[in-house]
Amino acid sequence: MEEPSKSRFRHRDLNWLSFNERVLQEAADKINPLYERIRFLAIFSSNLDEYFRVRVSQLRQMKKVKKSLRKQLALKPTKLTKEILEEVKQQQEKFGDIYNKQIIPELAHQGIHLIESSHFNAAQKNFVVDHFQKEISAHIKHHILNLDEENELFLENATLYFFVTFQNEDKVGLVNIPVDACGRFVEIEGDKQNSITFLDEIVRFELHTIFPNEEITGIYEIKLSRDAELYIDDLYDGPLAEKIYDSLKQRTSGQPTRLLYDSKMPKEVQKKVRKLLGLGKIDMMPGGKYHNFKDFFSFPDPTANPELHFKKLPPIPHKVLEKSENYFTAIAKKDQSLHFPYMSFDYVENFLKQAVQDKDVTDIKISLYRVADESKLTSCLLQALENGKKVTVFVEAKARFDEKNNIIWGRKFEEKGANVIYSYPKIKVHSKIMLIQRRENDEIVNYSYIGTGNFNSETSEIYCDHAIFTANQKIAKELLRLFKVLEGELIVPREKNLLISPFSTRQEFTKLIYNEIENAREGKKARITAKMNSLEDLEIIELLYKASNEGVKIRLLVRGFTCLIPGIKGMSENIYITSVVDRYLEHGRIYVFENGGDEKIYYGSADLMGRNLDRRIEVISPVLDKDIAQEFKELLDIQLKDNVKARIQDASEENKYVERAEGEKPIRSQYEMYNYLKEKHTS
């Protein structure tokens, strides 16, 4: 990981924290209903946990590199880690203010009371004691450690514990908080006040029964995050998928990356924890009384008040596919586009279901990056095998945190007779593609699906993505060649229309940018407009700087982090970036090049990151249907005009909201996109 120059590039890990701060802003934004703001606190916490397990753990690995080599490569992991910890500390303080000064009082105002054990009344105490004995005690594991003896203390990743001090300072106690078995929140039965308490508080209240012979002097919640990377290169010979599956246990025992502890823990107690776990000061992160706020995804609403949640937006019926009895006929006539979550993922599953039941369909090929636990799509693939179809499934066994589930499904498909291909070393298959081959009039006709999101019905309800069904045979033949590459029959797909990483995407994007530069030099209108998740590739960024200096107008929408610094005179003054964080997760990628008035529009699975351009199989497709191209442009234009949830990404990194001019109409793009599609498809 090369350290970018501060003068020309932001560091991706620091700018990612700026993205997570936008999530925190959503928790504070009273435009959002109360329970949705609670959900944003959970998202912030979940994001931060993964960040420490993945990104910070990589920084720790760098520290093992010889100092002379680190200096040569301009790597400064310790300095960067300190900057990260300082920023995280400030964000955690904001988090605490939002939770304590906004969320808790507003819950109380709604008649929902999240109470601590010190505030239990007599009836609540009786319920808690009874509930602990019946539902919790069997799952409690506790230890007393003598500090003057050798101790092997192991904390499971992301598990909550109480670190307990006693009057006898030579001993300490450790108790798990069994969230997986008991849930994080308990509604106190028989209480007319809609009282809810943390599982933590019930365990805290009963600690005197867990340590009956000790006088307790302090109770402090702790949580350890561990390295989530799977280091498998040298494990043993054999199939990569098997190596990955067998190495998953490393995640539970990986190197510690952060110990989150109650900030009220005294320094002398902190020293005891550090010594027992073999941690350094840099590994210690002070927090609030409670950790794992991602558990607030399941925070109960005893009032069932719809005003406390986002109003449901019914899926928009597709004007063609909704009424179509035969998708193949509809797609053969004209390309059909889908936009999630505004439309239902059922259309994708229905397409596959028709293929499974159609006697003329011979082959089904699909790439799966994150497989749902159980879905219509996976059931259809199994049914296709029973119906005698030839099924080829590429399963990405290295999709972080989904490896196990993906491999399990790959094995199920194999057992039923599918041709299952797993990951390749050092490269991931991130493309979202499906190809159906159908015999029509003694010829094989190909039907393609290319999307920006995973084949996952669950995430399709919260991720904003785009997809196109097409019977364009030029696109289909190139997609077929890519599948042959995945199957090992070809080395290079030889594409002319599609942009396929790592074969052609970087080269084609470079040509497209240089084309805009040439047009600007010739006095022609030159513009680049793009929407993506992240912008990190330094070579592409330098090209965008060059284009900006030549007069190309560059308008970007980047949801996550960006290493490009916009708005700097002489470097990036013609580049303007905003970021939209709202109800849904913006996940689609759209790239528009002015091309001298004959616009070229692309969409697909790749961000402008080194990994997407050079180390992943990605598919970026041109939008060839004129109607769909116009639709994509109009949807993108709506997002670029957002003045409710858009934040300006500039050199200050202050995440300032886009200001509305006096009298200007508020444009909350996700709702405007819904209304646009609804009008288009139901009129």
CA–CA distance from 101 to each of 28, 31, 94, 96, 201 (Å)? 10, 17, 10, 8, 20
Q: What does the block give as tokens for 543? A: 């090209």
Query: Nearest-CA neighbor of 651 among 582, 576, 551?
Result: 576
Q: Whose structure tokens read 């202050």?
A: 654
In one-letter notation, the amino acid at residue 162 is F
| Dist. CA 664–CA 524, nearest whole Å | 31
Nearest to 187 by CA among 107, 105, 139, 128: 128
Question: What single-letter amino acid sits at 237?
Answer: D
Q: What size, in residues, is the chain?
A: 683
Q: Which two tokens stand for residue 266?
A: 């005294």
Measured CA to CA, the distance from residue 298 to residue 510 in angstroms comes to: 46
d(CA 465, CA 370): 15
How far is the C-alpha of 88 from the C-alpha of 44, rounded, in Å? 11
Backbone angles phi, psi at 108, to 5 degrees: -60, -40
* CA nearest to 328, candidates 480, 493, 466, 476: 476
Consult the annotation and say whether 204 binds a ligand: no
Burial class (CB in 10 A: 0-12, 13-18, 19+), 610: middle
The two three-digit tokens of residue 570, written as one number: 């002489």
Q: Is 559 marked within a binding site? A: yes
Q: Which DSSP symbol is given to 60?
A: H
Q: Is 113 annotated as a binding residue?
A: no
What the block records as the tokens of 226 is 């561990």
Tell me the two tokens of residue 568: 């700097």
Using an 8 Å Cβ cutoff, are 177 and 203 in contact? Answer: yes
Residue with the two structure tokens 């609670």: 38
Whether the CB-CB separation of 116 and 197 falls below 8 Å is answered with yes
Do 400 and 229 form a contact (C-beta atoms < 8 A)?
no
> Which residue among 11, 291, 339, 430 is the active-site one?
430
Q: Which of 185, 166, 174 is nearest to 141 (CA)?
A: 174
Q: Supply 482's token pair.
A: 């890519």
Q: Is the peptide bond before 666 cis (omega within 30 degrees of 0)?
A: no
Residue type (1 letter), 525: K
Taking a C-beta distance cutoff of 8 angstroms, is the pair 164, 211 a contact?
yes
How many other β-carbons are positioned within 10 Å of the β-carbon of residue 493?
Answer: 21
- How many DSSP H helices and E strands does the chain contain? 23, 27
39 is annotated as contributing to ligand binding: no
Catalytic residue status for 430 = yes
Beta strands in 24-133 (DSSP E): 113-115
Cβ(466)–Cβ(452) under 8 Å? yes
Give the helix/strand (H/E) hosting 365. Answer: strand 361-368
Instruction: Specify binding-site residues for Mg(2+).
Output: 370, 400
Instruction: Specify binding-site residues for ATP.
Output: 47, 463, 559, 587
| Residues labelled as active-site residues | 430
Instruction: Specify binding-site residues.
Output: 47, 370, 400, 463, 559, 587
